[in-house]
Each structure stands twice: as structure tokens, then as C-alpha cells.
Amino acid sequence: MHEQAPLELIRGDSHDVRASVIWLHGLGADGYDFAPVVDMLNLAEVRFILPHAPAMAVTRNQGYVMPAWYDLYAPSELQQEDLTGITRSALYLSSLIENEINRGVACNQIVLAGFSQGGAIALHSATRYPKKLAGVLALSTYFPLKATLAKEAHTANLSTPIFMAHGRTDEIISLDRALGSRLSLQESGFTVQWHEYAMAHSVCAEEINDIRLFLTGLLQQDLIE
């Protein structure tokens, strides 16, 4: 399924890595999509893992084959969600976490991050993962498979900070939908830090700076000047 190895970015010596951020891109993109953002974050001693989603036919896009973490159905995944695809990608993300642990990074120094579809997988995985993580970055996204959370949620990450950010003019995933996802997470006991920005379905400079502060706080890393 995942034939292409993830992109890995490290600022400094790889022997000094003390933390990892696994960052999943959005629909139709690849691991290189957020490489410029990683460069702007400018963090030392952090390994950024940027995996590439497999190519698949996306139903909502008339069956067009593109990189995707799961299928999207027409007219809306609010009516039907790709349980199989979401579960498969979550298992892949779990394997990436375990790989970082095997490389010597403590689980509580691993952050799950994602944009849009990638953020949905990060949220799905973190709420069910049985070991304590450092934090979650959920950007311009929503919380999938809410109906199964009650029976699948794990308490390990109830207090793990979730940085959830959204654009007020997002035309792909509405602000209201993202706010509904935040409420669902909070009602289930998870810890959400909410951020809104004057942007559409994208990232902005203010958001990147807030992400930088969030990660340095979580991982207690010094910034490279």
C-alpha cells in the first residue's frame, strides 16, 4: 500500500534527535507539501516524518486517482464515511509511531500532525492510541467516525494537548463543522486548544508561528536563531 518511504527532515545532527513530529498531508498532495512549513518552524533536535498517502480512486472526485488517506463519498462524508480506509491509514500511522519509538524517541515526545484529511487521521489515531503522546496538530480538519469513539477511545491521551486550527472562510471544510468536531472531542474528555484565522482552506503565517510556539512548549526544544 505505502510503497514510497516517508520524507524525513531534521535540522541539525540526526544523532541529537529527541522528538518526532509525524505530519500527514491533505487530499491530492504528498509528503513534500509541508516541507516548506517545517523549514519555517526552524526547530532543532526534532525529526519530521512526512509520509505520502497512496494513490486511490476518490469517489467524490468522479473516481479520479490521487493521493488520499481514505475515500470520500458523494455528496458528503457526513452521510457515509470510509471506515476501511480510515482504519487502514490509522494503522499505518501507528506503525510510524512505533518505528520512532524503536529508533529511541519516547512516545511522549512524538506529535501527530495533519492537514485536512491528514488531520482527520491524526485525530482519529490520537484518541484511540494506547500510549501517551506529546500532542496533536489538527489543521483545517474535522473529527471522523465520531459514532465509534465511545467504544474505541483510549484514556492514554485524554490530557494530551490538541492544537486545532481552522480558517474562518474555509470552503472545503466549514468552520461550523470544525467547531462541531471540537465540541465532540471536548465532550469526550479530550483537551483542545482552538485557533481561528482569517484564511480559507490553507495555512497562514500567524498559524505557523502559533504552531511553532505550541511545539516548542510541548517538546521543550530551543529554537534555532
What H or E segment, with its residue span, contains residue 60?
none
Tell me phi and psi for residue 18, to 5 degrees.
-120, -10
Place of cell 491533505: 26
| The one catalytic residue among 94, 201, 202, 210 | 201
| The one catalytic residue among 116, 125, 181, 184 | 116
| First-to-last C-alpha distance (Å) of the chain | 40
Cell of residue 200, nine digits: 480559507
Helices (H), the chain: 35-41, 83-102, 117-126, 149-152, 175-187, 205-219
Known active-site residue 170: yes
Known active-site residue 82: no
E-assigned strands of 59-134? 64-67, 110-115
Q: What is the dihedral of CA 192, 118, 50, 105, to 10 degrees?
A: 40
Q: Order of strands across the sheet with 191-197?
A: 7-10, 46-50, 19-24, 110-115, 135-139, 161-167, 191-197
| The one catalytic residue among 20, 124, 170, 184 | 170
Known active-site residue 201: yes
Catalytic residues: 116, 170, 201
